[in-house]
Structure 1
């Protein structure tokens, strides 16, 4: 074991602790080396702990990034699938663009007035064609079938128009329209009966004439309600 002065380097005896020349503390070389080894061990251990912690943090970050990446991909795939499905639903397109596609033609969605006016004109075409196509082959009682069918079609459409109008009215306005409708029904029945009973028609003609007039008055009422109350 070597002992010496840490300042002047003079060797010291076993029992010397202070240098007699410079007054500096005597150190033990073997103890110093041992201390250095312990310090190195401590440093290495601390460094290992720090590296281990850093490695764990990196692993956690990598795992989190992987999870977030999977979640992002799943989310984007779900959004893409929803978008593709939505794009394939034709009714959504029709609502968004306010158009309908019929046999390649783009048509604007109709207002209520246009919608029912279109239905009424279609009924007109049907009734006109139906009676004209069969008028030469039908007489008397057989004509009742066609005039009766015409009346029923106009009456069904009138009820639809009336219901649509009333559903969009306030109670007071709707009440007035109901009264007006009741009066019109009485008027329609009376006028049709009067026309049927006039001298110019024979008994065999009375039935189809009655339905014919009912159809005429009902058709006129359809146009009247559409023009007056629909927009």
Structure 2
């Protein structure tokens, strides 16, 4: 049983403007509770014992969570302003150690099923997707006849999409270590690479990544004020109602 979760939370959250001048995006409240606290409490309810947060901008906010949640460990990336999510994940190798883990983005709201569906699935490396949910900034995913990741893009006209990326995954340690090994070859060339593109490279060239589609999953990625309004009106009312 996997008992570790990794949350990537180093970003600046510029699209929220003034809201993120004093706090990281993950601390923005959605229906009265911050996204990061929602994620932490859901993970703990699923039996997660270690929650490793990759931090950058306003790292002290995440460090402060340790007082309430002893499961939390933080890994600071001092180059957060000049890098992206794959660099954050790469920077966490020592603290992750030999653990298999669930990988999450920090700007999500989601129901418990997002984690339990990955727990129950027999595949060791999984990308979770749903039918297209977002009204903007969708990240489309295509899988092959075996259900493995074939392609992904923000432009659905360039692929034959089967759904939309949620931003929650299950990875075994072998896959993760190979992922970091491959990224080390291009880290100087692509410090701002998004982790999803490295996942795609892995599935295409190194080791298959299974795509699990959960069409009735309640979730949302919140990148700006418009997303926040939409999520509170259309997602949270169902999750909490």
Short-chain TM bin: under 0.3
TM-score of the superposed pair, with normalisation by structure 2: 0.18
Q: If each structure's strand is expressed as a fraction of its own residues, which one has the higher value?
A: 2
TM-score of the superposed pair, with normalisation by structure 1: 0.18
Q: If each structure's helix is expressed as a fraction of its own residues, which one has the higher value?
A: 1
- State the structure with bigger RCO (CA 8 A, min sep 6), 1 or 2: 2
